[in-house]
Amino acid sequence: MFSALKNQAAFFRQFRQRFETTGAIAPSSRFLARSMTSFLAARNGATPVRVLEIGPGTGPVTEAIVKLLRPGDVFDLVELNEEFVSILKARFDSEGDWHRVRTQATIHQLPVQDFVAAEPYHFVISGLPLNNFPADLVTSITETYFRLLKPGGVLSYFEYMYVRPVRKAITHGAERVRISSIDQTLRGHCDRCRIRRDNIWLNVPPAWVQHLRKES
């Protein structure tokens, strides 16, 4: 309990200091984490898989991932925020399921666009707040998602409900252009590759989880 409260306090502190890259006032709920990891949970067969989590923060979705990892699986995490990296390392050092898979997991502190993987991944799970970023950065990040996925692999990411529609309706000038460009980019990927969208009401704020499959 004390550790969880410390992690929530750290998350809120980073939200206040770095809203543009943290993007939320609270860590993701267990309901959102369950949705984000649902395709990993449903995988068939015993063949090891490669999993990449982008923007894990203090680890609420990571908590769900580590419970699903099997021997032989590879788990990479890309996190830019140094305080979150420290928290993640401490959790792998000390917490049950995290400690069990610590030799299978590697944390990389760098922008995801700069991340180079030895092999592509079966699952890419992202918590990045795309609606907060410049439009050209969103284009670069989403291209990176698909670069890092195997053909047939699944990308899962979330966004807060109605953020882009509301911002498009109430903003003007450069901000409206930015949001409209992001909307065009994300809608394009979803129209081409989306296999499911989950509505997660039990989250702060409520969120959509988008699941996309890379074309073979």
pLDDT, one tens digit per residue, over 89-139 is: 999 999 999 999 999 999 999 999 999 999 999 999 999 999 999 999 999
Question: What is the per-residue pLDDT across 138-182, written as a single tens digit (0 to 9) for each?
Answer: 999 999 999 999 999 999 999 999 999 999 999 999 999 999 999
* Contact predicate 105/77, CB 8 Å: yes
CB burial of 85-107 (b: ≥16 within 10 Å; e: otherwise) equals bebbeebbeeeebbeebbebbeb
User: Which pLDDT belongs to residue 22?
Assistant: 44
Domain 2-154 architecture = 3-Layer(aba) Sandwich (3.40)
Q: How far is residue 37 CA from its own chain's centroid?
A: 10
Q: So where are the chain's domains? A: 2-154
**Cβ–Cβ under 8 Å, residues 78 and 113:** no
Q: What percent of the chain has pLDDT over 70?
A: 88
